[in-house]
């Protein structure tokens, strides 16, 4: 059965106290996830351990980091490595968010390195892809997203790509008042996407 993943990215918002209150309110909401449903909270780095402890024992509910660095270790002040995330028991990390691509100049090549280092540390990537408005208006969104996937993921083996979590994130629909239709999302985020002879299993979004 296809997995359904609801991932909430807090971005750079909320104090620790506000975050704890939010999680408490969500946990007190009467709702039980089924076996094929996952909820993931991507919280700021300082809150990862605290929120993870709050969610301990909750069925199908996880904490994710919003990013990680593309190097194992070294003199990279202010960065957080995949190994560090693994050491605190994290399972998920967001990679390739549109804001990371736009504001921090993360290229497809850099993201390929991040994907590799997450695999090395047993972290499940939630890989974001999507096109800006100019690309959608030019009707070249398919080739644009294909390039993102190809340059960041297609060095992986077929086994690694099986079950890979890809989140289609149409940048033109973020804070613009424009809305992606279900048909547009499904076209890009089908259960199986065949690219250059490799099949990627897509889950969530």
What is the domain partition of the chain in residue ranges?
A: 4-201
CATH number at 4-201: 3.20.20.70
Check whether 82 has a pLDDT greater than 80: yes
Among candidate residues 20, 99, 113, 169, the one labeled active-site is 169
Give the predicted TM-score (pTM) of the model.
0.88
Using pLDDT thresholds of 50, 70 and 90, give the confidence band for residue 191. very low
Using pLDDT thresholds of 50, 70 and 90, give the confidence band for residue 158. confident
Count the Cβ atoms, other than its own, within 10 Å of residue 169.
24
Q: Is 169 a catalytic residue?
A: yes
- What pLDDT is stored for residue 85 in this prediction? 98
User: CA torsion 134→65→82→111, rounded to 10°?
Assistant: -10
Lowest-confidence range among 12-26, 124-138, 175-189?
175-189
Check whether 204 has a pLDDT greater than 50: no
Q: Is 20 a catalytic residue?
A: no
Full 3-state SS string of 103-151 = HCCCCHHHHHHHHHHHHHCCCEEEEEECCCHHHHHCCCHHHHHHHHHHH
Check whether 33 has a pLDDT greater than 80: yes
Average pLDDT, the chain: 89
- What pLDDT is stored for residue 203 in this prediction? 40
Q: How far apart are CA 23 and CA 205, in angstroms?
A: 21
- Read off the pLDDT of each residue in 47-61 and give the average, rounded to a whole number: 95
Among candidate residues 97, 106, 131, 189, the one labeled active-site is 97
Q: How far apart are CA 205 and CA 202, in angstroms?
A: 8
């Amino acid at each position: 059965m296809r997995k359904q993943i609801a991932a909430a990215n807090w971005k750079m918002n909320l104090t620790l106290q506000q975050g704890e209150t939010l999680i408490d309110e969500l946990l007190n909401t009467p709702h039980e996830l089924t076996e094929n449903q996952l909820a993931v909270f991507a919280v700021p780095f300082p809150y990862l351990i605290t929120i993870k402890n709050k969610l301990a024992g909750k069925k199908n509910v996880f904490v994710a980091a919003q990013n990680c660095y593309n190097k194992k270790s070294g003199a990279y002040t202010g960065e957080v490595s995949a190994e560090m995330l693994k050491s605190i028991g994290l399972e998920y990390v967001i990679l390739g968010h549109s804001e990371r691509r736009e504001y921090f100049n993360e290229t497809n090549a850099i993201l390929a390195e991040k994907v590799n280092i997450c695999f090395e540390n047993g972290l499940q990537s939630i890989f974001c892809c999507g096109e800006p408005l100019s690309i959608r208006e030019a009707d070249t969104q398919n080739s644009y997203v294909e390039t993102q996937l190809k340059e960041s993921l297609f060095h992986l083996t077929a086994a690694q790509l099986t079950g890979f979590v890809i989140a289609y994130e149409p940048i033109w629909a973020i804070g613009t008042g424009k809305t992606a239709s279900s048909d547009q999302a499904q076209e890009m985020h089908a259960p199986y996407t065949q690219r250059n002879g490799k099949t990627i299993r897509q889950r969530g979004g």
